């Protein structure tokens, strides 16, 4: 009760504090205008200077936005003219403007710029607009301006070609700058898809539908506090012109198994109504061969006394359907109503089989096992959102979102283990069947308010509140075959029923201001209260947690000129355990290996300090210091003895983890025929391990590099060469990922008057990717090496029809909760 009162007092204080941050608007009027080219198309990123006629002194400066518009605020009475420069255009001087003391707003006539050269194809490659823009609190990738953009690619391909983003296909995780815990948003809303389903959705989303990618290693207070790895926000295009716009994308994948992925997108707009529909289908059949060797001992310093050797093969199969429908209705010039429906319907099946051999200390066969482990986990996900956007006077805006999300998976599992002694004689088998349905319901509501704090638009205030309620219901009924009674009997060790509920209330306040031409600042704070309850119905264990946390952030940027810029930021964030990690069920991998959740798992907290340097938008250096407190990390334990030794994978809270990142980004057109996007990074990780006596630390230094190269060679043809490499890295308590890397290539051709694109890509050309890990504890050492289906040829055809005039789509309220769902 005290925590709830404290939360209400903070919210009231934040809202009461808002008026104190407002300051008087300066005197003078506004000057508005637009910059176009000779063909009447908008010119973005043009620098516009307002000069006094009497002495040509610069009074105000502005940069045109995506609509070609510029604005000057607090312009005193007098006579002025404009000076305009933009890459690829001739310098413009003129456009007399007279401002009277009685004028509130003066709209200048449109100005059309002339190209800098007659033959644009002959223009120097140096004039190409950088596709990466560094802002105070994020990096923005202009997808269409990227030399690596190709409408025939997918959204996932575009992400892979964006600075600092890598995809771990083995774990189906998207990482930012080598940091785990990255949260992916689509149009400001956290995608409810996770893992392989999220990757399949992004594969089916054509690159031509993307507008921008916002990359925030330190997101501001507006975003949920969860997500220690930062935020990636994918902004899709939305048609503003009346009529129909759409695209069709189909892909054929030739690997060990043949697969197809298809996506259809249709956007229709008429007057005040806009409808957007997409439907994706992905065939996900693949294989992974795995070799695991576990060595057991009595403790550190003792010789190994037993070995387990796994040689397994897994075939995963399934088809996913991802429909999405959105509607926007512009009730008035200032009011927009919207609704969104999203879905995922998938069949996910996998079968793992192979031998498990047990050896003694001299590596002599003791026992042999043939096992088959099958899972069926079809998923039905449904999401509904209604939203309101209201523009108020003087640039103020108010928005509200209500969301409902439903997840259901009627899963089943069977694990058949047939045992033989060293002479080949059959022993009692270990046969287990399980019915493991899971259901999650999420309710969320949020409202956001923003307003400029001055007439020039150089400062802004944002505030908002959010509440969410989550209920997860996980039931597991296991039976084990009794070889004596010749019947299936309930397995009390594996059977369980876990219900978890969680209510999160949050409020935030954020203020940003451009102090002058060189300095900009932003400060924010977010407060979150969490009330969680867990109930193990079978075991009779219950827990209740009620905690309140404050998460501040601050940013500062210094731009001495248009060539160099420096910025620094600090933020405190958190990661809550996923619902799967909290589930205490023990999942059977084999007779000797299990995975289980930990309901005692607590949130981890992250303090992050960054310092960055940028040169002309093509070269950047990032230095990042991150400290994780109460870190939950993967651990592997062993129990039992003799032929009954087993390992259990779980997560536990440990003392802390410290990471130091040093990354160098380089992205530019080296020549007319070579576009480069390179990253090189150094990571030093230190992890405490309080389970051992003393303050034992794991520490490792990691090097990683990513390179993307595009070679356009005329007539719509281009070639891509890309790859990555990373050395051994720390992933948990004495758990290290093995070094890994691969090289890929592709070729693209524009067809059908540039409305169509043909793409051919070969992933992992030399079939060299071998992801894996080592795990060590006092009583065992395990090494795992995987050989996934990483080499395959993808042929893609994309066709676009209609015209598009883009604008960003709307966001929703069920943000953090979606990302913690993982079936």
- Domain with residue 767: its CATH number is 2.40.170.20
Rounded to an integer, the average pLDDT of 501-520 is 94
User: How confident is the model at residue 651, as a pLDDT?
Assistant: 85
Q: What's the DSSP call for residue 2?
A: H
Closest CA to 721 of 678, 670, 769: 678
Closest CA to 239 of 201, 271, 280: 271
Q: Are residues 396 and 534 in the same domain?
A: yes
Q: Which residue has 């308010």 as its token pair?
A: 449
Q: Which of 473, 451, 472 shows the shortest CA–CA distance to 462? A: 451
d(CA 479, CA 487): 10
Shared domain for 99 and 141, answered yes or no, is no
Which of 143-147, 438-442, 551-555, 589-593 is predicted most confidently? 551-555
Other Cβ atoms less than 10 A from the Cβ of 328: the count is: 21
Structure tokens at 749: 């051709």
Distance CA 429, CA 414 (A): 13
* DSSP-assigned states of every residue in 352-378: EEEEEEEEETT--EEEEEEEEEEEE--
Is the pLDDT confidence value at 5 over 50? no
Mean pLDDT within 502-511: 96
End-to-end Cα spacing for the chain: 34
Q: Is the pLDDT of residue 8 over 60?
A: no
Q: For all residues of the chain together, what is the average pLDDT?
A: 83
Q: Place 591 in a pLDDT band, splitting at 50, 70 and 90.
A: confident
Structure tokens at 721: 């060469």
* Residue 178 confidence class, pLDDT cut points 50, 70, 90: confident
The shares of helix, strand and coil residues in the chain, as percent rounded to the nearest 5, are: 5, 65, 30
With beta carbons less than 8 A apart as the criterion, state whether 813 and 184 touch: no
129 and 141 in contact (C-beta within 8 Å)? no
- 596 and 619 part of one domain: yes
pLDDT tier, 124 (very low <50, low <70, confident <90, very high otherwise): very low
Place of tokens 């501040």: 552
Overall average pLDDT of the 597-617 stretch: 89
Identify whether residues 52 and 111 lie together within a single domain. Answer: yes
Q: What is the mean pLDDT of residues 658-670?
A: 89
Q: What is the pLDDT of residue 193?
A: 62
- Alpha carbons 785 and 767: distance in angstroms, whole number: 14
Please say whether the beta carbons of 733 and 635 come within 8 A: yes
pLDDT score recorded for residue 690: 57
How far apart (Å, rounded) are the C-alpha atoms in residues 85 and 96?
17
Higher-pLDDT residue of 791 and 156 is 791
Residue 25: the pLDDT is 36
- Do 174 and 105 lie in one domain? The reply is no
pLDDT bin (cut points 50, 70, 90) of residue 61 is: confident
Structure tokens at 174: 């998207």
Q: Residues of 151-165 as b/e, b for ≥16 C-beta within 10 angstroms?
A: bbbbbbbbbbbbbbb
Cα–Cα dist 284/242, whole Å? 37
For range 711-740, the mean pLDDT: 88
Instruction: Band the pLDDT of 447: cuts 50, 70, 90.
Output: very high
**Cα gap 626→362, rounded to integer Å:** 45
Cite the DSSP H helix spans in 118-210: 155-160, 195-204
Q: Provide the domain count of the chain.
A: 2
Same-domain pairing of 33 and 150:
no
Least confidently predicted of 226-240, 354-368, 477-491, 700-714:
226-240
Of 102, 123, 144, which residue is a domain's last?
123
Please state the rounded mean pLDDT for residues 303-329.
91
> Do residue 757 and residue 792 come from a single domain?
yes
- The kind and range of the H/E element at 16 are helix 2-17
β-bridge pairing 646-653 and 593-596:
parallel
SS3 state of residue 299: coil
Tell me the per-residue pLDDT of 757-766, one tens digit each, with 9 for 90 and over.
Answer: 899 999 999 9
Do 350 and 416 lie in one domain? The reply is yes
Ranges 108-112, 252-256, 622-626: which has the least confidence: 108-112
Same domain, 210 and 280: yes
pLDDT of residue 348: 87
> What is the largest distance, in Å, between two alpha-carbon atoms of the chain?
104
pLDDT at 708: 87
| Cα–Cα dist 294/511, whole Å | 54
Closest C-alpha to 290, from 230, 371, 224, 211: 371
Nearest one of 191, 192, 181, 187 to 225, comparing CA atoms: 181
> Which of 123, 149, 164 is the last residue in one of the domains?
123
Read off the pLDDT band of 145 (50, 70, 90): confident
Least confident of 29-43, 197-211, 391-405: 197-211
What tokens does 530 get?
């969490």
Residue 803: per-residue pLDDT: 63
Three-class DSSP category at 114: coil
Tokens 């290290």, residue located: 736
User: What is the rounded CA–CA span in Å between residue 247 and residue 265?
Assistant: 5
- Nearest by Cα to 576 from 602, 546, 553, 595: 602
Structure tokens belonging to residue 343: 């879905």
Nearest to 706 by CA among 137, 234, 175: 175
pLDDT band at 192 (very low <50, low <70, confident <90, very high): low
pLDDT surpassing 60 at residue 13: no
Q: Is the pLDDT of residue 650 over 50?
A: yes
Q: What is the pTM of this model?
A: 0.78
Distance, CA of 658 to CA of 469 (rounded, Å): 33
The Cα 442–Cα 466 span in angstroms is: 13
Please state the φ and ψ torsions of residue 183, each to the nearest 5 degrees. Answer: -105, 130
pLDDT tier for residue 4 given thresholds of 50, 70 and 90: very low
Please check the confidence at residue 532 and state whether its pLDDT lies above 70: yes
Residues 362 and 467 in one domain: yes
Region 273-302: what's the mean pLDDT?
90
Shared-domain flag, residues 80 and 169: no
What is the reported pLDDT for 91? Answer: 83
Ranges assigned E (strand) in 47-145: 47-52, 58-63, 69-75, 78-85, 92-99, 105-107, 111-113, 132-134, 139-142
Sorting pLDDT into bands at 50, 70 and 90, what band is 237? confident
Q: Minimal CA–CA distance to 260: which of 231, 278, 282?
A: 282
Q: Cα dist. 591→368, 431, 538 in Å?
A: 12, 9, 23
CA distance 203 to 277: 17
Domain match, 98 and 142 both: no
Classify residue 548 as left (phi > 0), alpha (psi -120 to 50) or beta.
beta
Helices (H), 75-194: 155-160
Residue 764's domain comprises 132-819
CA 310 vs. chain centroid, Å, equals: 34
C-alpha–C-alpha distance, residues 134 and 117, integer Å: 29
Separation CA 143–CA 236 (nearest Å):
10
Whether the Cβ atoms of residue 346 and residue 408 lie closer than 8 Å to each other: no
Residue 400 to residues 183, 330, 447, 542: CA-CA distances in angstroms? 22, 15, 4, 35
Q: What is the pLDDT of residue 697?
A: 67
What CATH number does residue 15 fall under?
Answer: 2.60.40.10
- pLDDT band, very low/low/confident/very high, at 675 (cuts 50, 70, 90): confident
CB distance 269 to 239 below 8 Å: yes
Residues 6+ apart with CB under 8 A from 635: 649, 650, 651, 652, 732, 733, 735, 777
Q: Is the pLDDT of residue 83 over 50?
A: yes
Residue 649, pLDDT above cutoff 60: yes
Q: Last residue of a domain, which of 93, 123, 153? A: 123
What's the rounded mean pLDDT across residues 456-466?
A: 91
Cβ proximity of 181 and 819 under 8 Å: no
What pLDDT does residue 635 have? 79
Q: Locate 30 and state its tokens.
A: 């506004």
């Amino acid at each position: 009760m005290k925590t709830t009162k404290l939360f209400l007092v903070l919210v009231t204080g934040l809202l009461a504090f808002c008026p104190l941050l407002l300051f008087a608007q300066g005197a003078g009027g506004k000057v508005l205008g637009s910059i176009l080219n000779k063909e009447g198309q908008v010119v973005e990123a043009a620098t516009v200077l307002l000069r006094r006629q009497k002495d040509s002194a610069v009074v105000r400066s502005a940069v045109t936005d995506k609509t070609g518009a510029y604005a000057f605020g607090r312009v005193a009475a007098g006579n002025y003219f404009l000076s305009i420069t933009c890459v690829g255009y001739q310098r413009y001087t003129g456009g007399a403007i007279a401002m009277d003391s009685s004028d509130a707003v003066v709209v200048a006539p449109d100005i059309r710029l002339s190209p800098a050269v007659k033959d644009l194809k002959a223009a120097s490659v140096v004039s190409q607009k950088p596709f990466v823009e560094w802002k105070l609190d994020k990096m923005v990738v202009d997808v269409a301006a990227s030399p690596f953009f190709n409408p025939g690619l997918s959204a996932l391909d575009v992400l892979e070609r964006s600075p600092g983003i890598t995809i771990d296909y083995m774990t189906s995780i998207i990482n930012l700058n080598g940091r785990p815990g990255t949260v992916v948003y689509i149009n400001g809303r956290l995608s409810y898809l996770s893992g392989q389903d999220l990757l399949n959705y992004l594969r089916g989303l054509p690159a031509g539908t993307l507008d921008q990618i916002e990359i925030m290693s330190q997101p501001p207070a507006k975003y949920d506090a969860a997500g220690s790895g930062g935020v990636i926000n994918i902004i899709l295009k939305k048609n503003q012109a009346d009529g129909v716009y759409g695209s069709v994308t189909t892909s054929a994948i030739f690997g060990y198994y043949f697969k197809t992925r298809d996506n259809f997108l249709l956007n229709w707009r008429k007057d005040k109504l806009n409808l957007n529909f997409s439907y994706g289908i992905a065939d996900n059949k693949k294989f992974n061969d795995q070799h695991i060797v576990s060595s057991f001992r009595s403790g550190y310093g003792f010789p190994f006394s037993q070995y387990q050797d796994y040689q397994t093969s897994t075939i995963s199969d399934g088809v996913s359907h991802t429909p999405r429908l959105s509607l926007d209705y512009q009730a008035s010039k200032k009011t927009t109503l919207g609704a969104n429906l999203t879905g995922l319907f998938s069949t996910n099946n996998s079968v793992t089989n192979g031998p498990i051999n047990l050896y003694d200390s001299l590596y002599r066969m003791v026992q042999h096992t043939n096992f088959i482990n099958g899972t069926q986990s079809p998923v039905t996900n449904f999401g509904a959102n209604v939203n309101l956007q209201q523009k108020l006077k003087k640039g103020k805006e108010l928005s509200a979102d209500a969301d409902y999300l439903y997840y259901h998976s009627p899963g089943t599992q069977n694990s058949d283990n047939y045992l033989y002694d060293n002479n080949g004689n059959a022993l009692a088998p270990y046969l287990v069947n399980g019915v493991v349905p899971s259901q999650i319901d999420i309710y969320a509501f949020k409202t956001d308010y923003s307003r400029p704090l001055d007439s020039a638009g150089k400062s802004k205030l944002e505030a908002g509140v959010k509440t969410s309620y989550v209920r997860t219901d996980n039931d597991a009924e296991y039976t084990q075959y009794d070889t004596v009674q010749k019947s299936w009997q309930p397995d009390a060790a594996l059977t369980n029923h876990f219900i978890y509920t969680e209510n999160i209330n949050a409020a935030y306040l954020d203020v940003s201001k451009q102090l002058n031409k060189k300095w900009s600042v932003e400060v924010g704070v977010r407060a979150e209260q969490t009330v969680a309850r867990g109930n193990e119905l079978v075991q009779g264990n219950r827990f209740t947690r009620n905690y309140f946390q404050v998460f501040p952030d601050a940013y500062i940027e210094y731009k001495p000129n248009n060539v160099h810029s420096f910025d620094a930021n600090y933020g405190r964030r958190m990661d809550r355990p996923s619902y799967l990690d909290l589930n205490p069920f023990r999942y059977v991998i084999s007779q000797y290996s299990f995975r289980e959740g930990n309901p005692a798992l607590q949130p981890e907290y992250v303090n992050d300090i960054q310092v960055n340097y940028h040169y002309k938008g093509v070269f950047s250096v990032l230095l990042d210091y991150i400290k994780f407190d109460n870190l939950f990390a993967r651990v592997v334990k062993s129990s039992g003895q003799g032929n009954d030794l087993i390992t259990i994978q779980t997560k536990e809270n440990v003392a802390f983890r410290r990471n130091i990142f040093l990354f160098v980004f380089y992205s530019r057109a080296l020549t007319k025929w070579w576009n480069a996007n390179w990253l090189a990074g150094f990571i030093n990780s230190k992890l405490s391990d309080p389970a051992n006596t003393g303050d034992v630390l794991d520490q490792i230094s990691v090097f990683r590099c990513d390179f993307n190269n595009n070679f356009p060679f005329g007539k719509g043809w281009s070639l891509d060469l890309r790859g990555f490499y990373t050395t051994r890295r720390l992933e948990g308590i004495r758990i290290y990922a093995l070094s890994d890397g691969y090289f890929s290539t592709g070729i693209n051709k524009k067809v059908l008057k540039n409305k169509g694109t043909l793409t051919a890509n070969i992933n992992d050309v030399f079939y060299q990717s071998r992801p894996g890990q080592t795990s060590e504890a006092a009583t065992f050492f395990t090494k795992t090496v995987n050989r996934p289906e990483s080499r395959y040829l993808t042929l893609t055809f994309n066709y676009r029809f209609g015209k598009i005039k883009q604008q960003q789509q709307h966001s929703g309220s069920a943000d953090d909760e979606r990302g913690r769902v993982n079936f």
